[in-house]
Structure 1
């Protein structure tokens, strides 16, 4: 039981960078980016092909991050300069990346067994924890810069920020690029941890990322940037722990993972609405009781 929980935390940290990437597009930019499913595989493919050819794992991760930046920039350009709907831009890029990833890998699967990776010298959980903390703090610092504030304002009210002379096309491209860079880096780490890269490893990543962000915000809140990014990281860990616990149920199988993911996302989406509804009803009930009590007091005062 303890080993499975440690493994779940480790996986949660590995996917935390992907959750941070999804947070940028989903929450900050309000951009429905489906490029994630393709750029995740791009990161794993670049890292796997470079490591298998004798390159440094660190250099492979940098190249994977750059590949994700390029994929995100293409999506941003399609949306801003090509005037293509954001959702459709992501879908088109995701489709294109399938062929690009196959070109990068040369075959559907690349094994890294026996190759030197970031996790060869240290425990994976230690390495990933350090990487996640560094990127989380760097993202927090960036979002408090002038450029970062412009990025956040673009998602809140693009028309208003344009009236102040900001280039919203540039901030959108930057945000989508940075998002997919983090997603690709997560893919590179997953490939090294699992010992292989597969052409289908990115399928469903956008759902997992959304689940992590939504679960994190529902449990830990997102009042500040620091709290929101921390919630995305912790949400990724909580999601993996929930999946690990669900898979221990006798009547559930490993093939039910996608179903479990969908159920978790549904619950995470519905729960805040239910909580708000219950809170509103309780508030309305309390106000009604206060008004009735006040009316009774006034009535008594009038009779006197």
Structure 2
């Protein structure tokens, strides 16, 4: 693998680590199977790209895209909490609706950002190549998002969200408004996904209606791989694990697609993803079996 391919894999891995953090909130903390991600990711890219193309400051465009993702998650939560639609079905309905919404926002299937400014070009120091600068800036953004998430979920409101996901009935008995916590958690989750979509559009030179296909699978893969590498119940280690999982996932994808002796091509991306997720799911089971074999049987009583 060339240095350029390695840095590209790290760059994409860092962007999708924001998606993985959002998926961690919905799937692990709230126990909410959220497929809105496949729509809120391109939503962030679409909003950001169309605003930049129309002369809006890239920083403001990125913030608006993040807010748009939060609104998408809020609507999904509202469908579930207020209209009593099953969580999975509510997220599917929102994902389908966002496809049309994204087309409306972009006015077509894609919005190019060829010579337009981005947050990366505006902050890029002179003399530093963009393929070095983008991963460095993304590291700062991801670390800031991780630390903010660690802080938030240690506050009273964050602990209430975690309690809602762990045991909603017990949380209500303790006076927690579980409906409001679901709405807040879904908003934060999809805000991170919308931010990732905005950054992805700026690094890839535009937004496309198909850029969200399979996003939820990538996010889940990053969470599963990260939990296999660094299993922990502490929120600080859990967020670190999914970031590592996203980067490792993209690294193995790039390594597999750049290995000529394997013969894989770009169209094999979904196959490689399925194989990696399967391996990540099987590894914990193998570890448990090995541990059970090492524990000696208890002596039988006479």
TM-score interval w.r.t. the shorter chain?
A: over 0.9
Shift of 1:223: 2.9
Equivalent in the alignment of 1:184: 194
2:294 paired with 1:282: yes
269, 280, 287: which one aligns with 2:281: 269
2:231 paired with 1:231: no
Equivalent in the alignment of 1:206: 216
How do 1:127-138 residues align onto structure 2 when only pairs under 5 Å count? 127-138=137-148
Counterparts of 2:181 and 2:254, CA distance in 1: 38
Counterparts of 1:273 and 1:79, CA distance in 2: 33
- Partner deviation per Cα, 1:188-247 (whole Å, 9 max, x = no partner): 000000001000100000000000011011102223110000111111100000101111
Counterparts of 1:151 and 1:38, CA distance in 2: 23
Equivalent in the alignment of 2:130: none
Equivalent in the alignment of 2:180: 170
Work out the number of aligned pairs and report it: 290
Segments of 5+ residues of structure 2 without an aligned counterpart are 125-132
CA RMSD of aligned residues (A): 1.3
Shift of 1:78: 0.5
Counterparts of 1:186 and 1:161, CA distance in 2: 31
Equivalent in the alignment of 1:26: 27
Equivalent in the alignment of 2:72: 71
- Partner deviation per Cα, 1:12-57 (whole Å, 9 max, x = no partner): 1111111100000011011100000000000000000000011111
Segments of 5+ residues of structure 1 without an aligned counterpart are 299-304
2:69 paired with 1:102: no
Equivalent in the alignment of 1:53: 54
TM-score (norm 1): 0.93
Equivalent in the alignment of 1:260: 272
Structure 2 residue matching 1:119: 3-state secondary structure: helix
Counterparts of 2:148 and 2:91, CA distance in 1: 26
Counterparts of 1:253 and 1:43, CA distance in 2: 28
Structure holding more helix per residue = 1
- Are the equivalent residues in 2 in contact too, given 1:118–1:127 (CA < 8 A)? no
Structure 2 residue matching 1:115: 3-state secondary structure: coil
250, 253, 268: which one aligns with 1:243: 253
- Are the equivalent residues in 2 in contact too, given 1:112–1:196 (CA < 8 A)? yes
Equivalent in the alignment of 1:40: 41
Equivalent in the alignment of 1:91: 92
Shift of 1:287: 2.3
Equivalent in the alignment of 1:81: 82
